[in-house]
Amino acid sequence: MKLKILIPNVFYTDIRVGLRLFVECLGCAIIYQELESADPFCVVGRDGVKLHLIQSEEYAMKDRPELRIETDDIEALYTHIRDKHPDMLHPNLPEITLRDWNAKEFALLDESHVCVVVQQWV
């Protein structure tokens, strides 16, 4: 038996904020959606990464997560985001930086303060 993938739930007051970060900025596809329902929900994914985006004001107020996504070409992803979505770059880590733990990283921050750190191990 093996564990295959971790799929986090990310809660938003307005699910469109999450779609902008994960679909428009990071290039995830919408795998499943109930965006027009009373409780908007969707599954997004790309390259084996999956997330559940859920519109829930109650839970969005309780949790603003920091997520990490590992990539195999941080420079290409960074260049794409810098050129198309520079407003999504986190002010505390807006450029690729080699960290003490031997990973290159930059970070994204959406308007609801969900943070995504993109990293590539050296």
Confidence of residue 106 (pLDDT cuts 50, 70, 90): very high
The answer, yes or no, to whether residue 3 has pLDDT greater than 90, is no
The three-state secondary structure class of 100 is coil
Strands of the sheet with 9-12, listed across from one edge = 9-12, 49-55, 41-46, 29-34
What's the rounded mean pLDDT across residues 76-84?
Answer: 97
Helix (H) or strand (E) holding 113: none
What's the rounded mean pLDDT across residues 64-86?
Answer: 97
Whole-angstrom Cα distance, residue 81 to residue 65?
A: 20
* Beta bridge partners of residue 12, listed in sequence order: 55
DSSP secondary-structure letter at 111? T
Q: Supply the pLDDT for residue 96.
A: 98
Sign of the alpha-carbon dihedral angle for 65, 19, 26, 91: negative
Whole-angstrom Cα distance, residue 71 to residue 116?
A: 12
Of 4, 64, 52, 12, nearest to 28 by C-alpha is 52
Please tell me which residue, 40 or 3, carries the higher pLDDT value: 40
For the chain, domains (ranges, CATH) are 9-121 (3.10.180.10)
The answer, yes or no, to whether residue 17 has pLDDT greater than 90, is yes
Q: Supply the pLDDT for residue 34.
A: 97
Task: Supply the pTM of this predicted model.
Answer: 0.93
Q: Supply the pLDDT for residue 86.
A: 98
Please tell me which residue, 63 or 9, carries the higher pLDDT value: 9
